[in-house]
Amino acid sequence: MHAPADDPAGAEAARKSIDKARGLLLDWDGCAATGNRPHEQAVTFIAKHRPRLAIVSNNSTQTPEDISGLLADAGVDFPSARIFLAGMEALTYAAGIPGVRSLVLANGRMKALGRAAGLQLVRGDADAVVLLRDTKFTYSKLERAVHSLARGARLIVANPDTTHPGQGGALVPETGALLAAITSCIDLQPENVQIIGKPSSFLFERACAALKVTPESALMIGDNPDTDIKGAHRLGMPSLLMAPGSRLTFSELLGEHAPAMRFARPRAARRVAF
């Protein structure tokens, strides 16, 4: 069960659940970080629990190395092998299907990474449409995607989120908003659609395997009840709902007197765009 900390007793119960868990799965965007800036108390939490923690995020515009670099700039050496991002996982999943011609809707960098992973990229008449958060999504791309899907292409979706939290509380349109545009044009059979990101079990299972724990012995910590919490519950995994989804904060998870690590502004080489 998730335990929002509406009172000190709730925070204490949350800390006990963290101590009990053999593995911790932590959301990134909106929970541990906003934009490209990790929250100071979240960095402290990651450093404290690093040996048994994995980052599990529906982010589809960055790589595990990007996140690892941001944490390194903040003073935490965190392995990219324990960072699971929906976008990169979607590209890897598609690349693992032999002989598939893929229409990838993503930013230029992610498309290049898909090609490097072995994807055969095409502009139309694809066997698979791979949908990430594409900040240059156009009518032409929508038309080509719908045409391929109408001909029987499978759809591989990084994540179903319609928005994620941005700086100052802004709502940033996400992959799910583009998915809504596609599905408003064509009805797709469930067997022809693969969702990679939360609440699908895919990322949860990847993280548990990396930590060598079972879902029942792990704990998911995230801010979105529809992805982080719902996905965990489907696997029988306990969870904690964090602010802004609840009143529970990283300060409360660390304890009242826990010092925060001072965040170092990322160097130019570490700046990555959402």
How does pLDDT run across 94-131, given as a tens digit for each residue?
Answer: 999 999 999 999 999 999 999 999 999 999 999 999 99
- H helices present in the chain, as ranges: 8-20, 40-49, 64-73, 86-95, 108-116, 139-150, 175-183, 201-211, 230-234, 250-254
In a domain, 1, yes or no: no
Shared-domain flag, residues 105 and 184: yes
Residue that terminates a domain, selected from 153, 175, 195: 195
- Amino acid 257: pLDDT: 52
Global pTM value: 0.88
Shared-domain flag, residues 214 and 182: no
- Amino acid 6: pLDDT: 43
Residue that terminates a domain, selected from 178, 195, 212: 195
In a domain, 156, yes or no: yes
Shared-domain flag, residues 185 and 206: no
- Amino acid 161: pLDDT: 92
Shared-domain flag, residues 218 and 191: no
CATH assignment at residue 65: 3.40.50.1000
CA-wise closest residue to 219 among 83, 11, 12, 15? 15
Split into its structural domains, the chain has a count of: 2
Enumerate the β-bridge partners of residue 193.
155
Query: Phi and psi for 27 in degrees, rounded to 5?
Result: -70, 155
For residue 234, give both structure tokens: 């489907």
Parts of the chain with a pLDDT under 50: 1-7, 260-274
In a domain, 91, yes or no: no
- Amino acid 165: pLDDT: 77
Residue that terminates a domain, selected from 147, 171, 195: 195
- Amino acid 268: pLDDT: 36
In a domain, 189, yes or no: yes
Q: Which domain holds residue 122?
A: 97-195
